[in-house]
Amino acid sequence: MSREKFDGRADWPSKIRELRRALGISQSQLAERLGLGNKKNVADWEQGSREPAPRRYVQLARLAPVDSPLAKWFSRRVLERVGADARTLAV
């Protein structure tokens, strides 16, 4: 359980893209799995023009392989987004 400083603000576009590619799916397919209307939201996230809401980070964490670095990253990012101190929580 690491307590190192976590700052996901700069990483989220690349982490979303990394997850999608690891799953072997398109932006449209990721949007569908998340219950989004179309791929525009996913494209905006990957381009860094709009960040997902905390509930979307929860969904992304659930799509990632269990106990993978990506699942942990998305879980920590949701904590950061809701104002929890992810540095002191064991995630």
- pLDDT at 59 (0 to 100): 95
Phi, psi of 39 (to 5 degrees): -80, -10
Predicted confidence pLDDT, tens digits, the chain (91 residues) = 444 455 556 688 999 999 999 999 999 999 999 999 899 999 999 999 999 999 999 999 999 998 899 999 998 898 888 887 656 655 4
How far is the C-alpha of 53 from the C-alpha of 67, rounded, in Å?
22
What is the reported pLDDT for 88?
A: 60
Full-model pTM: 0.81
C-beta atoms surrounding 82 within 10 Å? 11
What is residue 1's predicted lDDT score, i.e. its pLDDT?
40
> For residue 7, what pLDDT is reported?
55
